[in-house]
Structure 1
Amino acid sequence: MNRDEMDALFTRHANAEAAKNVPAIMETLAPGVEHDVVGDPSGVLHDREAIGQRYQDLFDQLDEDKFENVRRYYGDDFMVDESHWYGRVPGSFMGIPGGNKQIDFRILHVCEFKDGRMSRENVWLDVAAIMQQLAPAQ
């Protein structure tokens, strides 16, 4: 895939996430996809049902206001997306009650592509920033 195709697919994927549309997200992922949210206790997932559930759990925890691209790097069949996420935490996130707090954090996606879809999605979150913002006031 070229850069424009990768960008278009990733934008479709991010828009589906913002809409909390699990079926639309799953359409962007290749069969046999490797889905890895670093630090998630579920580990690396390949099962589509488990991946869909991971997204649903995330949507129960977070409400996105804005997802802002900072920069992207490209290679043959891969892309690294550095972005900034803004939103609220109505539920608990990472085991910490959100109390509907407004938070923002940096997020890094490392995506590999095959046959017009993402064959690997590796997600890194700025956990320290998240925990700092969700920590109870002292």
Structure 2
Amino acid sequence: MTPAEMDAVLDRHFAAEAAHDLEGVLATLTPDAEHDVAGQGVLVGHEAIAERYRVLFAQGDEEKYEPVRRYHGDDFVVDEVLATQLIANDDFGPQARGKTVTYRLLHVCEFRDGLMTRENVWLDLAGIMAQVSS
């Protein structure tokens, strides 16, 4: 895939996430895709990945993303953004609920047959915790 083709798939994926469009998210992934959120484990296949997104979407978090940089390889993209999020649950402790935090978010995505076959997500947990602790 060309960088432009990978970018188009990734941009559709992120747009579907922002719209809480589960079918749109899954449409960007191969049936055997891996979804790996650092610290939360690797899920394989649409059914398992869909459950993770259902939980994520139910949280109703408001997020905004500011692109920082994107690197391309033959079959992968590394995408870095600054994410700003309203924390609507107690995942980061009860003191975090209702706070807005800004943190670095990194996606490493692999592609095959015009779709993402692996999405690896890394978030700056230390940066989040520093903001919700103050």
Q: What is the TM-score of this pair, normalised by structure 2?
A: 0.91
Within the candidate set 55, 58, 71, 1:57 is matched to 55
Unpaired runs of at least 5, structure 2:
none
> Would you say how many aligned residue pairs link Structure 1 and Structure 2?
133
Larger mean CA deviation between 68-77 and 96-105 belongs to 96-105
Instruction: Give the structure 1 partner of residue 67 of structure 2.
Output: 69
Cα distance between partner residues in 2 of 1:54 and 1:47: 11
Aligned CA RMSD, in angstroms, stands at: 1.5
Cα distance between partner residues in 2 of 1:64 and 1:8: 23
- Aligned 8 A contact 1:62 1:89 in 2: no
1:97-125 alpha-carbon deviations (Å, 9 max, x no partner): 33221111101100000111100100100
- Aligned 8 A contact 2:107 2:121 in 1: yes
1:71-98 alpha-carbon deviations (Å, 9 max, x no partner): 011110111001111120112235x233
- Aligned 8 A contact 1:84 1:104 in 2: yes
Instruction: Give the structure 1 partner of residue 31 of structure 2.
Output: 31
Cα distance between partner residues in 1 of 2:25 and 2:90: 23
Residue 19 of structure 2 aligns with an amino acid whose one-letter code is: A
Larger mean CA deviation between 118-127 and 83-92 belongs to 83-92
Within the candidate set 106, 115, 118, 1:117 is matched to 115
Instruction: Give the structure 1 partner of residue 83 of structure 2.
Output: 85
Unpaired runs of at least 5, structure 1:
none
Residue 23 of structure 2 aligns with an amino acid whose one-letter code is: P
Give the direction of change, closer, same or farther, for the CA distance of 1:93–1:60 in structure 2 (3 Å limit): farther
Cα distance between partner residues in 2 of 1:103 and 1:59: 18
1:90-101 alignment runs, 5 A limit: 90-94=88-92, 96-97=93-94, 98-101=96-99
Q: Identity across aligned pairs (percent)?
A: 51
- Aligned 8 A contact 1:72 1:82 in 2: yes
- Aligned 8 A contact 2:77 2:110 in 1: yes
